[in-house]
Amino acid sequence: MSDRKNITESDVALDVDKLMEEYDKETSSLRKLTGTIGKIAAIIAIAMSCFHLFTAGFGTLLSAKQRSLHVIFAFVLGFIFYPGGKKSKKDRLSPLDYVFIALVLIVFGYLFMFNEQIALKAGSVSQVDLILGILAILLTLEIARRVVGSALPIVAIVFLAYAYFGPNLPGLLAHRGFSIERIVSHMYLGLEGIMGIPLGVSSTFVFLFILFGSVLDKTGVGKFFIDIAYAMTGHFKSGPAMTAVVASGFMGSISGSSVANTVTTGAFTIPLMKKTGYKPYFAGAVEAAASTGGQIMPPVMGAAAFIMAEFTAIPYNKIIIAAAIPALLYYFGVGTMVHLEASKLGLKGLPREELPNAGKIMRKDGYMILPLVIIVFFLLSGYTPLKSAFYAILFSIAIGLIASFAKRDKSFGLKEILSALEAGAKGAVGVACACACAGMIVGVVTLTGLGLRIAELIVSVAGGNLILTLFFTMVASIILGMGLPTTAKYIVLATMAVPALTKLNVNLMAAHLFILYFGVVADITPPVALASYAGAGIAGASPMKTGFQAVKLALAAFIVPYIFAIDPTLILVKEIVGTDIQFVSVFAALPIILSAMLGIVCLGSAIEGYLIDHSKVYERIPLGIAALLLLKPGTVSDIIGLVVLIGVYFLQKQRIKNKEAAA
């Protein structure tokens, strides 16, 4: 126990804020403001959180008003905290920043103040509308460039150009083209461009769930999850690596950010893994792969899940039911790879007497799990995500205050509440800016009908073959995910790739979860691999080596989306009629769940080259083939997979006996 204390206080004494600044693209460029401007920025951020809490509790404004005010808050904070370039000052705003802030107030304040008059215009565009609309597009592109990088605005510019130059394009891509006035009107004045569905979701559900995560963070829930995971898994031969998988699953269920999750839990788990005997790049990869799964782990998942609810018109509480088993199978896949690696290295777990006692932890800090229980209860009871998050935030604050008072340690008070409100608003800026910019992409797709054209093209290239179509969609998801935030990537693919999958009779829910799943995996896929870079930085390892190892760890889980795309029983969906999902029971889905687990173990063993002993080539090849056969659920494929796995198991067991006899 003393050994763990030493580890926690010395080896793990990493500054999480500094790590976030270094490896999170959004946090890394943040200005550090002090003095009057710093106080003003904090007040604006707190006001933004208070506005969203108030509207969540007492009713949102009209869509145009809610979204325009959300944009004003987010863009103003964006121009305050994100400098225009690498050479810009980090401790003050430039004159141009003040100009941009003034323009934001004018351009989007116009939408807020005159939304009724704009609605009565029925699409007609005045000279003032045109000028303000062009400014709105330019401001959106600039703030997206500052906050999430240049890839998303470049994609948006390409789409805007596509809307204008349609008649000059070849084949399926050609369309009649639209005037500047029509494009600007669509992007600015209506609710199908900048102010579209993505921003609508950001201005309601997403903000509240980000704020919920910030409040929980201030209560110390992260350390609680790590301690519980360590108590549960430290005795396994995979020890701290399995702790990372479990703790990251817990944290990911409320975080929804791959990089934040990697840094928060990795600051503790990566040094522990290295101390146990794992190589630095492997330790970083385990944390990155485990943390990335948080974006598909209910109840919170990532921002894209809320947009999925809007795109599909399927209630969010049903989406999290469908997403639960694939998320658990993802972690089963990563855990399997970690266990096999530990077995291959001959590592041992820690004696139970050296581990913290789970019972004591629960008795002391078990109250910290109540906010998660509360939010799941409200979501499954039929409350909207907005109301569920609102009540969960209030309960979290109340629980934190009561616990702090009972312990008399002043660990949670007014200062922490205000800090959570400020951090929640700052954390929402990136999502809001990405959603505003991605809204223009969606706007072009709806204006031109590009989605259906791309769907036809994908199906045509794949020759109508479902597996090939799924493969091409997976590749597109990963490639787009490398350059775009998960939310923006999901929005693009939901409008273009999902129609291709549904055209081949893939279940609507399965199609959306498929692109989300692989877009999330892009966070660990080189060359971008932000979560892998964060893990590598903490571990002191090569980012590329860490990234490829993280992909390898997650590779066994790649089998899962193919299975539920072919047979939606894995996501418990029987059929979808309109917006109503008919679910099957977990018991009815048990055979396909076991089939997926079998496929994961086969593929994991083939990739890792180990089952209970080092595998020979003639053992790895059948295991890999069996895993591929298990992509298509069925009695024959299941029997083949089981026979291969049992056969390799007994071959290796006999080989171990022969080695022991020879020794």
Q: CB atoms < 10 A from the CB of 540, how many?
A: 13
The ranges of the chain with pLDDT < 70 are: 1-29, 122-123, 255-256, 483, 528, 577-579
Contact 594, 499 (CB under 8 A): no
3-state secondary structure of 91: coil
Q: CB atoms < 10 A from the CB of 635, how many?
A: 9
Q: What is the secondary structure of 417-432 as a DSSP string?
A: HHHHHHHHHHHHHHHH
Residue type, 300: V
Rounded CA-CA distance 273/541 in Å is 13
Q: What is the secondary structure of 245-285 as a DSSP string?
A: HHHHHHHHHHH--HHHHHHHHHHHHHHHHHHHT--HHHHHH
How big is the CA angle at 213 (ends 424 and 361), to the nearest 5 degrees? 140
Contact 229, 243 (CB under 8 A): yes
Contact 222, 294 (CB under 8 A): no
Rounded CA-CA distance 158/143 in Å is 17
User: What pLDDT shows up at residue 140?
Assistant: 97
- Closest alpha carbon to 255 in 17, 427, 392, 429: 427
User: What pLDDT shows up at residue 108?
Assistant: 97
Distances (CA, A) of 432 to 177, 436, 527: 29, 6, 26
Contact 550, 535 (CB under 8 A): yes
User: What pLDDT shows up at residue 261?
Assistant: 79
Contact 520, 258 (CB under 8 A): yes
User: What pLDDT shows up at residue 553?
Assistant: 87
Q: pLDDT, tens digit, for every residue of 247-288?
A: 888 887 776 677 777 887 888 888 888 887 888 999 999 999
User: What pLDDT shows up at residue 417?
Assistant: 94
Residue where the block lists tokens 């054209």: 453
User: What pLDDT shows up at residue 4?
Assistant: 44
Q: pLDDT, tens digit, for every residue of 485-501?
A: 778 888 888 888 888 88
User: What pLDDT shows up at residue 121?
Assistant: 76
Chain CA centroid to CA 246, Å: 17
Q: pLDDT, tens digit, for every residue of 97-149?
A: 999 999 999 999 999 999 888 888 766 888 999 999 999 999 999 999 998 88
Q: CB atoms < 10 A from the CB of 573, how many?
A: 24
For residue 572, give both structure tokens.
């418990």
Contact 261, 255 (CB under 8 A): yes
User: What pLDDT shows up at residue 22?
Assistant: 60
User: What pLDDT shows up at residue 241?
Assistant: 85
